[in-house]
Amino acid sequence: MITLTDVHKSYTKDHETIKGVSFEVKEGQIFGLLGPNGAGKTTLMQMISTLMKPTSGTIEIDGLTSDKDLLEIHRKIGFLTNEIKLDPLSTPNNLFNFFAALYDIPKDELEERKQESFARFGIEPFANKKIVELSTGMKQKISIAISLIHDPPVIIFDEPTNGLDILTSKQVTDYLLELKEKGHAIILSTHIFSVAEELCDEIAMLVDGKIVAQGTVDELKRIAKADTFEKAFFNIYVEHHVE
Amino acid sequence: MKTIIGSFFRKRGQMGAEASNTTFLVTVLFVAAFSCAVMSWMLWWFPYHLFSDETYNIVVVNAPESFVEFNKASQSYFDNRAEEFGDRKNLIRNWQHITEFEYNFDGYGQTEFFYEETDALYDFVTFGKWMRKNDAYLTVVFPKDFDEQVRARQEGKTGEKPQILTYFRTNSLEYADMREEFEEVYLATYQTEIRADFGLAITSVSDAQILEEPLEIVDTLNGRNSFGAVLGRTFIPILIFVILLYASMSVGTNVVAGQKERGTFTGILLTPTPRYVIVLGNLIGVIIKSVIPVLVIGVLAALIARAFNIFAILSLVAYIIVLAAFIASITILISVINDTVVSAQTAFLPIFLILVAACVTCIQSVSEREDFYMFLPVYGQFYGIGDIFVGQLNYYGLLFSSLSTLGLTAIITFITIRLLHSERYTVSIDSVDAKAAKRAREGGGLSILERINKLTDNFSYTITEIFYPLFVLSFYQFLALIPVVISDMRKPEYSMFIQDLANVGSVGDIINKTFEIFAIFFTDPLFLSMMTLGYAAILLTYFIHAGRVWKIKGFKNKVTACGYPLSDKKHIGKHYGLGLLFGFLMMTCTVSIMFITGQLTFKGGFTFSLAGVGVYLFNLLMWFPQGASEEIMFRGFMIPAFNKRYKVAIGVAVSSILFSAFHSLNAGFTPLASFNLALIALLFALIYLYTGDIWMTSAMHTAWNLSQGNIYGLQVSGNLASNSIVSAVYDTNANPLITGGAFGPEGGLATTAVTTIALVIVIVLLVRKRNNAKTEFAAKAVMQANPDTKPDVNA
What's the pLDDT at B490? Answer: 65
Residue type at B792 in one-letter notation = D
In terms of C-beta density within 10 A (0-12 exposed, 13-18 middle, 19 or more buried), how is residue B200 classed? buried
Name the residue with higher pLDDT: A27 or B741: A27
Residue type at B53 in one-letter notation = D
Task: Express each pLDDT in A66-111 by its tens digit.
Answer: 888 889 999 999 999 888 888 888 889 989 988 998 898 898 888 8
Q: What is the pTM of this model?
A: 0.56
| CB within 8 Å: A37 and B432 | yes
What is the DSSP track for B343-381?
A: HHHHHHHHHHHHHHHHHHHHHHTSTT--GGGGGSTTHHH
What's the pLDDT at B446? Answer: 54
Query: Where do the DSSP E strands lie in B536-688?
Result: 600-606
Q: Work out the pLDDT band at B793, boundaries 50, 70, 90.
A: very low
Chain A CB contacts of B428 under 8 Å are 83
Query: Where do the DSSP E strands lie in A165-221?
Result: 185-189, 202-207, 210-215
Residue in chain B closest to A84 (alpha carbons) equals B263
Q: Work out the pLDDT band at B436, boundaries 50, 70, 90.
A: low
Residue in chain B closest to A101 (alpha carbons) equals B3
Q: Which residues pair with B728 in a beta bridge?
A: B602
Do B685 and B555 form a contact (C-beta atoms < 8 A)?
no
- Give the whole-angstrom CA distance, residue A27 versus residue B464: 59
Q: For residue A175, what are the contacts with CB-CB under 8 A and spacing of at least 6?
A: A120, A144
Distance from CA of B9 to the nearest CA of A (A): 12
What's the pLDDT at A143? Answer: 92
Chain A CB contacts of B4 under 8 Å are 102
Distance from CA of B427 to the nearest CA of A (A): 7
Name the residue with higher pLDDT: B107 or B262: B262
Residue in chain B closest to A80 (alpha carbons) equals B267
Pairing of strands A18-25, A2-9: antiparallel
| CB within 8 Å: A83 and B263 | yes
ipTM of predicted complex: 0.91
Q: Which of B11, B255, B428, B433 to mutate to test the interface with A (most CBs of A within 10 A)?
A: B433
How big is the CA angle at B466 (ends B463 and B468), to the nearest 5 degrees? 95
Q: Work out the pLDDT band at B289, boundaries 50, 70, 90.
A: confident
The helix (H) or strand (E) run that includes residue A43 is helix A41-48
The helix (H) or strand (E) run that includes residue B727 is strand B726-730
- Give the whole-angstrom CA distance, residue B699 versus residue B628: 7
User: What is each CA distance from A121 to A137, A175, A199, B99, B445, in whole angstroms?
Assistant: 10, 10, 19, 96, 50
Average pLDDT over residues A217-233: 87
What sign results for the dihedral spanned by CA atoms B338, B341, B345, B348?
positive
| CB within 8 Å: B427 and A72 | no
Average pLDDT over residues B341-366: 77
Task: Express each pLDDT in B547-594 by its tens digit.
Answer: 776 766 666 666 666 777 766 677 788 888 999 999 999 988 988 888
Q: Work out the pLDDT band at B685, boundaries 50, 70, 90.
A: very high
Residue among B371, B384, B375, B359 at smallest CA distance from B408? B375
Do B673 and B747 form a contact (C-beta atoms < 8 A)?
yes
- Give the whole-angstrom CA distance, residue A104 versus residue B580: 74
Q: Which of B270, B417, B426 to mutate to test the interface with A (most CBs of A within 10 A)?
A: B270
Is B422 within 8 Å of chain A by CB?
A: no
